Amino acid sequence: MSTTESSKVEAKNPNLVEFDREYEYFDENLNLQTKKVPVKFEVIAPVYPENATTEQKSAIDAQVNQKAIAKMNELGKWQEAVNFLIRREALTAAKVAAGVSGGINRAVLMEFIKPYRELPQFASMSTASDKRKATAEEWNKQTSAILEQIKNVPFIMQAIKDKSAAANAEEE
Whether 7 is covered by a domain: the verdict is yes
Residue 21, beta-bridge partner list: 5, 37
For the whole model, what pTM was predicted?
0.43
What pLDDT sits at residue 10? Answer: 45
172 and 105 inside one domain? yes
The pairing of strands 2-9 and 32-42 is unpaired
Whether 71 is covered by a domain: the verdict is no
What span, in angstroms and rounded, lies between the C-alpha atoms of 59 and 140?
A: 57
What span, in angstroms and rounded, lies between the C-alpha atoms of 60 and 15?
A: 14
Among residues 116, 125, 104, the alpha carbon closest in space to that of 150 is found at 116
CB 15: neighbour CB atoms within 10 A? 15
Whether 106 is covered by a domain: the verdict is yes
What span, in angstroms and rounded, lies between the C-alpha atoms of 98 and 103?
A: 11
What pLDDT sits at residue 99? Answer: 58
16-26, strands of its sheet edge to edge: 2-9, 16-26, 32-42
What pLDDT sits at residue 98? Answer: 65
pLDDT in tens, 77-90: 888 888 888 888 88
What pLDDT sits at residue 106? Answer: 82
Whether 38 is covered by a domain: the verdict is yes
Domain around 120: 101-172
pLDDT in tens, 119-139: 888 888 877 666 666 778 888
The pairing of strands 2-9 and 16-26 is antiparallel
What pLDDT sits at residue 62? Answer: 93
**Where among 50, 65, 88 does a domain terminate?**
50
**Number of domains forming the structure of the chain:** 2
What pLDDT sits at residue 53? Answer: 92
What pLDDT sits at residue 12? Answer: 66
Q: Which residues of the chain have pLDDT under 50?
A: 1-2, 5-7, 9-10
What pLDDT sits at residue 45? Answer: 86
Phi–psi pair at 125, nearest 5 degrees: -75, -10
Whether 122 is covered by a domain: the verdict is yes
Whether 142 is covered by a domain: the verdict is yes
Among residues 121, 112, 157, 111, the alpha carbon closest in space to that of 142 is found at 121
What pLDDT sits at residue 9? Answer: 46
Whether 10 is covered by a domain: the verdict is yes
46 and 113 inside one domain? no
Whether 131 is covered by a domain: the verdict is yes
